[in-house]
């Protein structure tokens, strides 16, 4: 609903997600609350800046947040009691600071893409369709076909069949969504959708690697049976960043 109506509803939704993701990343890195609060403030400030059509300012806020979070977290080292295993991970303060960019850049990309007056709504719906199809296809093909594991040391359940199935489903969903928009360049967008499906799987795999490093199964338990919000949007974050880069490279955007 927020994605359909756009500003300010979509911006508010992304801002709320930014605070939740900051909290989850702080739990993951097991650092002191002061640094996590600065992380959350940096993400929130960046989202507000890009919503006010100040993307350069938003990037500046994230850069300043990275430095500040790393400094404060480094000075106030010491794990929280909720994730004691993370105490053994070196440079946890740097990991917390990385969250400023890892979370912040995709979030401002989402807000920036949605703000496009010509095709912002369509772009967000297209991104959602591609990512959801990729996730669903990877799960379904992985369960039905099985086969060799893709990265057993990082994510034991991911298979090559699941990866290919996710990519294929993302391409099909992309073509179907573009057809619903009345476009005829289905081959182009099935290819682009497949590419973004691969990016989504890469984003999911990266987050799994980070969780393995910190020896946790889920980013949090706020979604019963599904882990945390970061576990649900890792693929979307990767795709939002990738598509924003493509959108800027093509000036007016492919979807306009």
Please report how many Cα atoms fall inside a 13 Å half-sphere around the Cα of residue 242, on the Cβ side. Answer: 21
Residue 256, pLDDT score: 55
Residue 91, pLDDT score: 74
Residue 251, pLDDT score: 65
Are 31 and 87 in contact by the 8 Å Cβ rule? The answer is no
CA neighbor of 130 nearest in space, from 163, 174, 165: 174
Assign residue 182 a region: left if phi > 0, alpha if psi is -120 to 50, beta otherwise?
left
Question: Alpha helix (H) ranges present in the chain?
Answer: 2-5, 9-29, 33-51, 55-75, 92-114, 120-145, 160-180, 186-213, 229-249
Residues whose CB falls within 8 Å of the CB of residue 107, separated by 6 or more in sequence, listed in order: 14, 17, 18, 21, 43, 46, 47, 237, 240
Encode the chain (256 residues) as per-residue pLDDT tens digits.
778 777 899 999 999 999 999 999 998 887 778 899 999 999 999 999 999 999 999 999 999 999 999 998 877 655 444 444 554 555 778 899 999 999 999 999 999 999 988 888 999 999 999 999 999 999 999 888 878 888 888 888 888 999 999 999 999 999 999 999 888 889 999 999 999 999 999 999 999 898 888 888 878 888 777 778 998 999 999 999 999 999 888 865 566 5
Residue 228, pLDDT score: 86
227 has which bridge partners? 223
Residue 195, pLDDT score: 96
CA neighbor of 40 nearest in space, from 15, 11, 58, 76: 15
Angle at 1 (CA atoms; ends 174, 24), nearest 5 degrees:
85
Residue 84, pLDDT score: 46
Are 126 and 150 in contact by the 8 Å Cβ rule? The answer is no
CA neighbor of 131 nearest in space, from 237, 208, 236, 229: 236
Read off the pTM: 0.89
């Amino acid at each position: 609903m927020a994605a359909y109506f756009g500003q300010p509803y979509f911006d508010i939704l992304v801002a709320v997600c930014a605070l939740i993701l900051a909290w989850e990343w702080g739990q993951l890195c097991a650092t002191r609350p002061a640094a996590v609060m600065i992380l959350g403030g940096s993400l929130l400030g960046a989202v507000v800046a890009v919503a006010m059509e100040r993307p350069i300012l938003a990037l500046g806020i994230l850069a300043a947040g990275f430095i500040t979070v790393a400094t404060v977290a480094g000075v106030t080292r010491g794990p929280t009691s909720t994730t004691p295993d993370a105490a053994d991970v070196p440079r946890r303060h740097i990991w917390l600071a990385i969250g400023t960019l890892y979370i912040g850049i995709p979030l401002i990309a989402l807000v920036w893409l949605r703000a496009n007056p010509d095709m912002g709504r369509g772009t967000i719906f297209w991104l959602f369709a591609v990512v959801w199809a990729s996730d669903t296809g990877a799960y379904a093909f992985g369960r039905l076909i099985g086969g060799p594991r893709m990265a057993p040391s990082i994510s034991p359940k991911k298979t090559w069949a699941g990866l290919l199935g996710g990519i294929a489903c993302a391409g099909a969903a992309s073509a179907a969504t573009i057809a619903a928009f009345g476009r005829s360049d289905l081959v182009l967008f099935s290819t682009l959708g497949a590419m973004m499906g691969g990016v989504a799987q890469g984003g999911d795999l990266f987050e799994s690697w980070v969780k393995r490093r910190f020896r946790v199964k889920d980013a949090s338990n706020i979604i019963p049976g599904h882990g945390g919000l970061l576990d649900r949007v890792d693929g979307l974050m990767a795709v939002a960043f990738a598509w924003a880069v493509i959108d800027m490279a093509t000036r007016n955007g492919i979807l306009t």
